[in-house]
Structure 1
């Protein structure tokens, strides 16, 4: 039998239904793979007992013949999702020892569908980062290796990306605030989709920037993304931003037929100094969609150049507001106080000890742009720019465009430590192709489409109309079939 942890969700589901394999066998194969993969730093809270218990329950449910698609499939959960009775730390020291008494809506829906949680996955602290170097647990290492460097898996969902690429789990949950699903997916040669804002509930997911955060699946291919996304979506009355819109059968919409679809190529995404390999990948992807019967049209998104500055005002502003609750009073870390210290000293010491440097930087930036003298100059202006970016997309979609094709990242994976220490702004530029999608609340998918000359994966991004994830995934499916990407990292860990 093939190594079970290397199966896709769809393959494993079909084998479970056919009785060729049990969920316990699948789960054990993943648990064994996780045990030998500590060098990657992907799994940070392992839950083998919970996993095997859920696998046995899933096998019983499958035997009765009423099991949903995700039933019995072993997956990893990003440490940003609250999981009942299991450490949920958001990779931060300030939440050390926090075991919630409740389950996030998304992880509860997956649990209700019979999915098996293998454990919690590493990430950038509070989802703030593009390289998975800000975690209290230490760095995650990309399973792809081409020289003696340890490469970044991307961030903030780096643990999820590394775990899926290394076949430690069949799929994983991620969250995306400015590209945190799509950029790591591109760096590790897997598929990741950020659905429309409001498609997945945010309840029980530790907040970074509430108007931008959205959960989504990270999977081995597009079909798996469709299967898992369907289980994660749905209206949740506990989340005021959750949309009460029916969830279609995304998998059934994967026909691969894109004849007559109009694909937009935004001229503003042709950045100065873009590597030739990214340029070529984009051109090849365009040609593939054209060969599949789609019409290619040049489009303009004129406010794109303001997206990164607007994002790095809005996201830290919301972070500073959301992270004010971590004060050492109610839960999480509390600093030891000296004689005579009052409540102000407790707040200051707790937050100084509990938050890492990147989180501190963003909280300070956010507090500054929200302060009385600067609110209009920065935050309000950024909100107006965001409206213009959203309008750019609306006008393009109103003109008959069905999807937009762009690169997912400005480069392949870089070495750990190469960018973070030098200049945080260099790191922020990694999000150049992805943040517009969050600012506009649109669905975006990244899929692997080729290798660079070193042999590292490169991803393309497709951006879709709001609420049309099924159509977007179908276009991605057509591109995936044309690209024929099957490369996997060689096992070195």
Structure 2
């Protein structure tokens, strides 16, 4: 995600290359056996956008518009730029049961978090844990095994819905943020756009497309089908090129790679 894990799409590509290399993959997978998990990944050459014509962007209007006015208008403007510059199409779709998916995601990560931390929590005093973590762990610990199993059924159901969408479009598009640290209220609002990546394991990338009234970056997120990282990087790079004129330096900026002033 440019802005959190990388400064630009090019940086994201550089970071992706070694992480998807055959050598690192071979270290954890028996290459003598046929693999049905990971196809060969051909990372793109970002110098040209000619090879990514006819991209179809799936947009669920009710979900897309469930954001602040300045964020919504900025993302709509970015989509218009993509249509004008590259001829990409926006396809109206419906993602059913978004709220149910959010709750299933919450139950899943809460249950798995509690299970993972259980052996460490037994050695800690309650006073050593912050109040926010105490509240979260208390809620997480109340989830039953039946709730967890039902959440996994909803996960499979949502995977089916998303696969149907990817039959009609190349990527799903939504608003997103340019920062990774938020208060609880805004963080809860943001989760609605990050569920597909976290809960369903779909690859996603975010590109800055403008700024809100407070001068904070607004991101446009692209969600792809499984193993569609190359397509996502192409789409993200093209978006970065189309929106480059909107970019501006933050109020506090240190050019660590620039030439020193004499």
The interval holding the TM-score normalised by the smaller chain is 0.7 to 0.9
1:151-210 deviation line (CA, Å, top 9, x unaligned): xxxxxxxxxxxxxxxxxxxxxxxxxxxxxxx5xx6xxxx2x5xxxxxxxxxxxxxxxxxx
In 1, distance between residues paired with 2:29 and 2:138? Answer: 27
Q: Structure 2 matches for 1:4-15, cutoff 5 A?
A: none
2:131 maps to what in 1?
357
In 2, distance between residues paired with 1:355 and 1:243? Answer: 39
1:482 maps to what in 2?
242
In 2, distance between residues paired with 1:365 and 1:490? Answer: 39
**In the alignment, structure 1 residue 319 sits paired with structure 2 residue 109:** no
In 2, distance between residues paired with 1:247 and 1:362? Answer: 38
1:20-58 deviation line (CA, Å, top 9, x unaligned): xxxxxxxxxxxxxxxxxxxxxxxxxxxxxxxxxxxxxxx
Deviation at 1:367, TM superposition (A): 2.3
* Runs of 5+ unmatched residues, structure 1: 1-181, 193-217, 328-346
Do the aligned partners of residues 407 and 254 (structure 1) sit closer, same or farther apart at CA in structure 2, a change above 3 Å counting? Answer: farther
1:96 maps to what in 2?
none
In 1, distance between residues paired with 2:241 and 2:253? Answer: 28
1:286 maps to what in 2?
79
2:12 maps to what in 1?
225
Do the aligned partners of residues 353 and 476 (structure 1) sit closer, same or farther apart at CA in structure 2, a change above 3 Å counting? Answer: same
Deviation at 1:451, TM superposition (A): 1.4
Deviation at 1:236, TM superposition (A): 5.9
Q: Structure 2 matches for 1:411-430, cutoff 5 A?
A: 419-420=183-184, 427-430=187-190
SS in 1 for 2:209: strand
* Higher-Rg member (1/2): 1
Of 383, 387, 395 in structure 1, the residue corresponding to residue 152 of structure 2 is 383
Deviation at 1:461, TM superposition (A): 0.4
Q: Structure 2 matches for 1:92-111, cutoff 5 A?
A: none
In 2, distance between residues paired with 1:386 and 1:434? Answer: 14
Q: In the alignment, is the contact (CA less than 8 A) between 1:317 and 1:363 conserved in 2?
A: no
1:408 maps to what in 2?
176
Bigger share in helix: 2
Q: In the alignment, is the contact (CA less than 8 A) between 1:444 and 1:463 conserved in 2?
A: yes
Q: In the alignment, is the contact (CA less than 8 A) between 1:317 and 1:369 conserved in 2?
A: yes
Deviation at 1:465, TM superposition (A): 1.6
1:176 maps to what in 2?
none
Deviation at 1:251, TM superposition (A): 4.4
Q: Structure 2 matches for 1:207-246, cutoff 5 A?
A: 218-233=5-20, 234-235=24-25, 238=28, 243-246=37-40
1:14 maps to what in 2?
none
Select between 459-468 and 449-458 the one with higher mean Cα deviation.
449-458
Do the aligned partners of residues 259 and 472 (structure 1) sit closer, same or farther apart at CA in structure 2, a change above 3 Å counting? Answer: same
Do the aligned partners of residues 414 and 351 (structure 1) sit closer, same or farther apart at CA in structure 2, a change above 3 Å counting? Answer: same
* Runs of 5+ unmatched residues, structure 2: 31-35, 255-262
In 2, distance between residues paired with 1:260 and 1:475? Answer: 11
Q: In the alignment, is the contact (CA less than 8 A) between 2:59 and 2:91 conserved in 1?
A: yes
Do the aligned partners of residues 237 and 320 (structure 1) sit closer, same or farther apart at CA in structure 2, a change above 3 Å counting? Answer: farther
**In the alignment, structure 1 residue 392 sits paired with structure 2 residue 153:** no
Q: In the alignment, is the contact (CA less than 8 A) between 1:393 and 1:440 conserved in 2?
A: no
1:330-376 deviation line (CA, Å, top 9, x unaligned): xxxxxxxxxxxxxxxxx36x252443333333333232213xxxx22
2:70 maps to what in 1?
277
Q: In the alignment, is the contact (CA less than 8 A) between 2:58 and 2:93 conserved in 1?
A: yes
SS in 2 for 1:320: helix
Q: Structure 2 matches for 1:263-274, cutoff 5 A?
A: 263-272=57-66, 274=67
SS in 2 for 1:263: strand
Over the aligned positions, Cα root-mean-square deviation in angstroms equals 2.9
Q: Structure 2 matches for 1:45-64, cutoff 5 A?
A: none
In 2, distance between residues paired with 1:460 and 1:313? Answer: 27
Do the aligned partners of residues 236 and 304 (structure 1) sit closer, same or farther apart at CA in structure 2, a change above 3 Å counting? Answer: farther
2:252 maps to what in 1?
491
**In the alignment, structure 1 residue 462 sits paired with structure 2 residue 230:** no
TM-score by length of 1: 0.45
